[in-house]
Structure 1
Amino acid sequence: MAREFTDDNAIPRGWRTRQPGFSIWIIFVLFRSVLEALFYSVYYIPSSLRQSPAWTYRQACMTRFLERVFHIITELGFTQSLSLEPGDLGDRWVAIDPAPAGECYGDFTSDTIKPEKIGGTWYPKLPSKQWLLEEQNLVVLSFHSGSLLWLSGRPEDSGPTAELLNNKLGSNTHSLWLQYRLAGGNNPTPYPGAMQDAVTAYVYLIEEMGVSPSRIVLAGDSTGSTIAMALLRYLVSIKEIPGHKLAKFPPPKACLLFSPSVEYSFEGDPEAVSANRNIKTDYVESRMMAWGARALAPPKTVRLDSPYISPALHPFATPVPIFVQVGGAEVLCDSVRGFANVMSAVPGNRVEYFEVPGVPHDVYVVGSLLGWSKEQEEIHEAAARFVLGV
C-alpha cells in the first residue's frame, strides 16, 4: 500500500542540529571519518567484500565515501540557503520575476506559498535573442537534484553535467539550470514552491526570451525529475483551462529523466527503503530520503501519493517524448522501471527506458566522481540520441 504521509520526525532535530552540538559533532565526525576511511581502504581490497564484486576498488571506496557524506549531513540536519546574487557569474546569472497571476493554477496554488523571484544559470553563456530565434537551436530547462534540501544549479554543483549534456546535444544547445526554492535553508518552501518556480522559468523562456516550447527540452535528475514531471503534467492539465496563456503553445520537445524520484510514497517510507534489494549498492540512505520527502510534503498537508510527486502511481497521457534512465544498483531502480512501464502503457505516449547495469544513483551527475565515467558518458549520449531523434 502506498504511504500517504512521512513521519514528522523525519526532519533531523536532535542536539547535533544546533549549536554547540553542531560544532562538537563535526569535530567527532572528523576523527570518525579518518578511522572509517582507513578501515574501508583495507576492507575493500578483496573484491568479494565490496558492495558488488563487479565494482572496482575505486568505485567501492568512492561510493562508500559519498554514502558517509550524506550520512553526516543527515546527522547534522544541514540544509542549504540560497542567494539571488550573481556572484562571479556575470550575465550568465539571471534573476527571473515570478510568473504573472493566473499562470500557476489549481494544484500549483497555495494559500501560504506564492510564486517568488528566482534565479538560474545559463550554460555555456547567456544566449542572444537572435540565437534563440533560430529554429534549429535547443534550450534545455534543467532541474538539479538534492532532495529539495541542497544545490543550486550553479557551476560549483552542476557545471560539469551541464557542459557534458550540452556538448552531446550539439553546439546549437544552451541550457538554463534553475535555482528553484528549496524546502530547507533560510526560506523553507515545500510543495508547490518548486513547481511554481518551474512555471516561472518556463514562462520566462517563452515570453521574455522568445523560445518556442517545441525547442525546449525539460531535464531533471533525482528530485529534479519530480519537478520536471510535475511541470509536464501541469502543461497537460491547463489545456482544459479556457484562456490560460500557456495552453495555446505547443508542448516541449522532450523530457529527460535521470534516476528520477517518481514515487515519494516509497521514498518517504524508511522501512521500505531499508528493505530494498539495492540498499547495499547505493549511497543514499533511508533517513535522508525520508527527510527530503518530509520537507517537500509536510504531513497532513501534501500526500506522498499525490499525482504531482508520485507520477509512478498516476500515469497520464502526454505528447512529450520521455527518456527515463536509472542505475541497476540503485534503490530507485524498481520504482523507476515501474514508472516507465505504466507511462509506456498509456496510448500515445512515447517512453524510452535506459537502465545501466550495476551502477548506483545519479551517475548522470556523479559518474566521474565515483569511477563510472564511461557509463556517465553513455547516459548523456543516449539522452542526446533520444532528443535528436524525436
Structure 2
Amino acid sequence: MPFAFHRQPFKSVYLLVGTIYIFIRLPVWTARNFIPAWRARKGWSITRSLVMELINAATSIMLQTGLPSPEPLEKLALSAAKTGFVWVEPTPDLIVGDIQRFAQLNEVSALRIGGFWYGARGPGDVVGQRADPREKVIYHLHGGGFVMGSGSPAFLPTAATIEGILEHVPQFSRVYALEYRLASGAPFPTCNPFPTALIDAIAGYDYLIRQIGFSPDNIIVSGDSAGGVLAYQLARHIDAANLATLPQPGALLLLSPSADSGWRTPPGGSMQTNRRSDYVRTWFDAGYVPPTLLGALPVGELDQPWLSPGSPVLSNAETAGLFKGFPQTFILAGEAEMSRDSMRTLRDRMRADMGESQVQYAEIAGAPHDFTGMTILEPERTMGLKAIGKWVCDL
C-alpha cells in the first residue's frame, strides 16, 4: 500500500531507515553495475547506472512517506515579479461534451488557476505582454503523474525542459507553463480527479488566445509525461467540442507522453523488459495514480481513449478516426522507457488517421522516461532537444 508511513512519527523513522538503506545498497549497486555487460544498458556509464538506482530508491521512499505538497496559488502570486506567475480565469463555457459529463460524475468544476511565463518579458520587466501578430509561443503542461509537479521555475524538471526548448528552438522567445490542479487519493483526501487538469488546460489555452492575443496557429501545445497525455486530451476536446471560440493549436509536442494510464504490462513488452533501465518502476509498482486519476469513474475508463490512447487493451479499430482533426504532432520517446511501447502504439494510431508526414517520432537510444527534464541525462537530452528544434524548423 502506498504512503503507509505518511504520518508522524512513522514518517521520520521510515525516512531515516530509507536513507541508511540507500547507503548500504550503494556498494551493491556499484558491484552490480561495475562491468558494462551487467548494466541495464551497456552504453551507460557506471554513474548513469547508479543514478537510476538512486532515483528508484528515493522514489520508493517518497511513495511510502508522502508526495511534495503543491504551493497555494496565493503564495505563488506573492513572488510573481520573480517567477513570472500570472492568474488564469476559469472558462466553464468551454467545458462541454464528454468532459462536462466526466466533470459532473467526479464533481469537479472550473476554478481560477495560474501559470508561469518563461523567456522574454515586456517593457518594465512585465510578463504576459500582448503577443505580436506573428509571435509564436509554446504552451507547456508539466509532468508528474497528475499528482505532483509544477509549472514553476522552482520545479527543476519543468525548468530544465523549458530552458532546453528555448535554447534549441530559437523561433520561440517565451513559454507559458500552466499550474494545473493536482489529483490526490487515499490515504489522503480525494480531490481533483480527471478531468480537472484538462479543465484547467482548456482555460490556459483560452488565456493565450483571448487575453494575450496569440493566433492559435502560432501556439505549440507541449507536455511531458502526464502533461503529454494532457496535451493530447486538450486537442481531442477541441476537436470533439467543435466550438468556434476554441480552435486547434498549430502543433502538439508530446515528450514521453503517458499514453497508457492503465499501466498494462503485456508479456515481453517494454513495461517488463525496461524495468532496470527506467527510473519510474516504483511509480508503476505502487499503483497510486490510476485510481487517484479515476475518482468516481468506472475502472474501465482507464483503458478508454481519453485516458489511454496508447493502451494495448484497445484495438486499433476502437481508435480509428480519433485523430483525424488533430494538428501535426511530434512525439519524443526514450528507447529505455518502460512505457515506450504505448508511445509507439500512439504513434501508429495517429499516423493511421493523420498520415506519416503529420506525425513525427524520435526515439533516443538509451534514454529513460522524460529525459529532457534531467540535465544529467546527456547526451540523450541534447539529442532530443535538437530533434525538436529540427521539427520546428520544418513546420
Q: Which TM bucket (shorter chain)?
A: 0.7 to 0.9
User: How many Å apart are 1:347 and its aligned residue?
Assistant: 4.3
- 5 Å-filtered alignment, 1:215-230, equals 215-230=218-233
- 5 Å-filtered alignment, 1:338-377, equals 338-348=345-355, 350-366=358-374, 368-369=375-376, 372-377=377-382
Q: Give a deviation string over 1:44-97, Cα, whole Å, max 9, x none.
A: 222222222221111111111111121111122435323212353416111112
Q: Pick which of 274-283 and 26-35 moved more.
A: 274-283
1:22 partnered with 2:11? yes
Q: Give a deviation string over 1:159-202, Cα, whole Å, max 9, x none.
A: 22211101222164210111111112777311000000000101
Q: Give a deviation string over 1:124-156, Cα, whole Å, max 9, x none.
A: 254567661231x21111011111111111112
Q: Contact conserved, 1:273 with 1:286, CA < 8 A, in 2?
A: no
Q: 2:97 aligns with which of 91, 94, 106?
A: 106
Query: Which SS does the other structure have where 1:373 is aligned?
Result: coil
How many angstroms apart in 2 are the aligned matches of 1:348 and 1:360? 27
Letter of the 1:102 partner, please give it.
D
Counterpart position of 1:155? 153
Counterpart position of 1:334? 341
Q: Give a deviation string over 1:209-262, Cα, whole Å, max 9, x none.
A: 1111111100011111111000010111122xxxx3424x4x211111111111
How many angstroms apart in 2 are the aligned matches of 1:221 and 1:172? 18
Counterpart position of 1:5? none
How many angstroms apart in 2 are the aligned matches of 1:186 and 1:142? 28
How many angstroms apart in 2 are the aligned matches of 1:41 and 1:286? 20
- 5 Å-filtered alignment, 1:202-213, equals 202-213=205-216
How many angstroms apart in 2 are the aligned matches of 1:94 and 1:187? 27
Counterpart position of 1:295? 292
User: How many Å apart are 1:281 and its aligned residue?
Assistant: 1.1
Aligned CA distance change for structure 1 residues 218 and 122 (closer, same or farther; 3 Å): same
What is the percent sequence identity of the aligned residues? Answer: 26
Letter of the 2:117 partner, please give it.
W
Q: Contact conserved, 1:120 with 1:176, CA < 8 A, in 2?
A: yes
Structure 1 gaps of 5+ residues are 1-8
Query: Which SS does the other structure have where 2:79 is aligned?
Result: coil
Counterpart position of 1:90? 81
Q: 2:111 aligns with which of 113, 116, 121?
A: 116
How many angstroms apart in 2 are the aligned matches of 1:38 and 1:310? 39
Q: Contact conserved, 2:146 with 2:182, CA < 8 A, in 1?
A: yes
Q: Give a deviation string over 1:289-345, Cα, whole Å, max 9, x none.
A: 621222112364461022211122434213411001111111111111111011101
How many angstroms apart in 2 are the aligned matches of 1:194 and 1:45? 43
Q: 2:253 aligns with which of 252, 256, 262?
A: 256
Aligned CA distance change for structure 1 residues 159 and 130 (closer, same or farther; 3 Å): closer
Q: 2:386 aligns with which of 363, 381, 385?
A: 381
How many angstroms apart in 2 are the aligned matches of 1:190 and 1:377? 34
Query: Which SS does the other structure have where 2:221 is aligned?
Result: strand
Aligned residues: 367
Counterpart position of 1:146? 144
Letter of the 2:36 partner, please give it.
S
User: How many Å apart are 1:270 and its aligned residue?
Assistant: 11
Structure 2 gaps of 5+ residues are none
TM-score, normalised to structure 2's length? 0.86
Letter of the 2:278 partner, please give it.
D
How many angstroms apart in 2 are the aligned matches of 1:272 and 1:264? 19
Aligned CA distance change for structure 1 residues 186 and 156 (closer, same or farther; 3 Å): farther
Q: Give a deviation string over 1:5-58, Cα, whole Å, max 9, x none.
A: xxxx6xx252x1222211211111121121122332343222222222221111
Q: Which has the higher contact order (CA 8 A, sep 6+)?
A: 1
1:284 partnered with 2:280? yes
Counterpart position of 1:4? none
How many angstroms apart in 2 are the aligned matches of 1:220 and 1:129? 20
Q: Contact conserved, 1:270 with 1:286, CA < 8 A, in 2?
A: no
How many angstroms apart in 1 are the aligned matches of 2:269 and 2:290? 12
Q: Contact conserved, 1:264 with 1:304, CA < 8 A, in 2?
A: yes
Letter of the 1:342 partner, please give it.
R
Counterpart position of 2:192? 189
Q: Contact conserved, 1:328 with 1:358, CA < 8 A, in 2?
A: yes
Q: Contact conserved, 1:71 with 1:285, CA < 8 A, in 2?
A: no
Q: Contact conserved, 1:71 with 1:288, CA < 8 A, in 2?
A: no
Aligned CA distance change for structure 1 residues 115 and 301 (closer, same or farther; 3 Å): farther
Counterpart position of 1:167? 167
Counterpart position of 1:237? 240
User: How many Å apart are 1:348 and its aligned residue?
Assistant: 5.0
How many angstroms apart in 2 are the aligned matches of 1:195 and 1:171? 27
Aligned CA distance change for structure 1 residues 152 and 74 (closer, same or farther; 3 Å): same
Query: Which SS does the other structure have where 1:324 is aligned?
Result: strand
How many angstroms apart in 2 are the aligned matches of 1:204 and 1:309? 24
Q: Contact conserved, 2:217 with 2:249, CA < 8 A, in 1?
A: yes
How many angstroms apart in 2 are the aligned matches of 1:188 and 1:270? 31
Query: Which SS does the other structure have where 1:17 is aligned?
Result: coil
TM-score, normalised to structure 1's length? 0.87
Aligned CA distance change for structure 1 residues 125 and 365 (closer, same or farther; 3 Å): same
